[in-house]
């Protein structure tokens, strides 16, 4: 019988021979390194200081992962083409609907200085409200200002003044002719027959203005403001009996608002 020392020696030799038949083992604590990753040293929060793409805790912001906080600005030519297509389409729709219901659109626009000046003057309260809301944001105005800064203003940032004027004029003509010239006038005629002239007029203004606000939905508060502006323009249409005033107010408001927001308030 072998002595204990010899048994241990024999077992050790067998174990040593068995180990030599196996391939070398990689360390179990080390994961495979992707190709090219070895050249990228691990970043610590301290080494990230000064990197505009890394915050103080060493974390990458969301926009580096493919999501941007702002809408990229469009080329002015693209903005004009889109504006012409959308607002021109509204104008053509208004002309077609007016012809179908026997209310020619151009017969509702009376070219006179008085109504044009009235439309320009009545732009004042709209612009005052915009200025107060943007410069002294409270409640929902604060959220709306962020929406304007991140999504609306960047779209028009590269446009020149004349391009903003063209876009505003297209919007003023196309939207007022359709909403106040066709929809509101038709609703007044229909609802006045059901509820009487006095009630029917304001029901029509309210209904068309609500649709106008919903079609301008950027946020709930923005839609509410657009609806109130629509009611204001509808009131102008009722008081003057002329589409020229609302067209001037709408176009002038859009123009001054776009210039103010893109060239002064959120410039840069």
Q: Tell me the C-alpha distance between 121 and 251, whole Å.
A: 13
Q: List the chain domain ranges.
A: 114-265
| pTM of the predicted structure, to 2 decimals | 0.73
Asked whether residue 63 carries a pLDDT value surpassing 80, the answer given is: no
Q: Which pLDDT value is given to residue 73?
A: 65
Q: What is the CA radius of gyration of the chain?
A: 34
- Give the pLDDT mean for 90-94: 95
Q: What's the distance, CA 168 to chain centroid? A: 17
Taking a C-beta distance cutoff of 8 angstroms, is the pair 137, 242 a contact?
no
Q: Among 47-56, 102-111, 242-251, where is mean pLDDT lowest? A: 47-56
Q: Which pLDDT value is given to residue 268?
A: 61
Asked whether residue 101 carries a pLDDT value surpassing 70, the answer given is: yes
Q: Which pLDDT value is given to residue 54?
A: 43
Asked whether residue 45 carries a pLDDT value surpassing 90, the answer given is: no
What DSSP string runs through 50-90?
A: T-TTS-TTSPPPGGGGT--SSPPPPPHHHHHHHHHHHHHHH
pLDDT tens track for 172-193: 999 999 999 999 999 999 999 8
**What rounded mean pLDDT belongs to the chain?**
81
pLDDT tens track for 223-234: 999 999 999 999
Q: Which pLDDT value is given to residue 9?
A: 44
Most confident region among 44-53, 68-77, 156-165 by mean pLDDT: 156-165
Q: Which pLDDT value is given to residue 69?
A: 55
CA pseudo-torsion sign 189, 191, 193, 198: negative
Taking a C-beta distance cutoff of 8 angstroms, is the pair 77, 70 a contact?
no
* Percent of all residues in the chain with a pLDDT value above 70, rounded to a whole number: 72
pLDDT tens track for 2-33: 444 444 444 444 444 444 444 444 444 444 54
Report how far apart the first and last C-alpha atoms of the chain are (Å, whole number): 95
């Amino acid at each position: 019988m072998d002595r204990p020392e010899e048994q241990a020696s024999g077992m050790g030799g067998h174990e040593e021979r068995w180990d030599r038949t196996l391939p070398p083992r990689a360390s179990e604590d080390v994961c495979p390194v992707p190709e090219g990753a070895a050249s990228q040293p691990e970043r610590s929060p301290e080494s990230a200081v000064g990197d505009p793409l890394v915050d103080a805790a060493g974390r990458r912001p969301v926009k580096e992962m493919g999501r941007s906080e702002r809408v990229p600005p469009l080329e002015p030519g693209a903005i004009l083409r889109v504006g012409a297509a959308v607002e021109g389409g509204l104008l053509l729709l208004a002309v077609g609907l007016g012809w179908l219901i026997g209310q020619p659109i151009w017969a509702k626009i009376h070219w006179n200085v008085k109504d044009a000046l009235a439309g320009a003057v009545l732009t004042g309260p709209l612009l005052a409200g915009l200025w107060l809301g943007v410069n002294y944001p409270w409640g929902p105005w604060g959220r709306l200002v962020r929406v304007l800064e991140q999504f609306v203003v960047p779209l028009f940032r590269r446009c020149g003044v004349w391009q903003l004027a063209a876009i505003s004029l297209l919007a003023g003509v196309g939207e007022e002719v359709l909403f106040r010239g066709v929809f509101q006038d038709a609703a007044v005629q229909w609802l006045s027959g059901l509820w009487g002239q006095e009630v029917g007029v304001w029901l029509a203004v309210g209904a068309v203005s609500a649709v106008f606000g919903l079609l301008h939905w950027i946020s709930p508060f923005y839609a509410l403001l657009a609806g109130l502006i629509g009611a204001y323009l509808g009131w102008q249409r009722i008081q003057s009996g002329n589409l020229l005033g609302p067209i001037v107010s709408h176009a002038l408001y859009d123009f001054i608002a776009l210039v103010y927001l893109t060239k002064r308030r959120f410039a840069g």
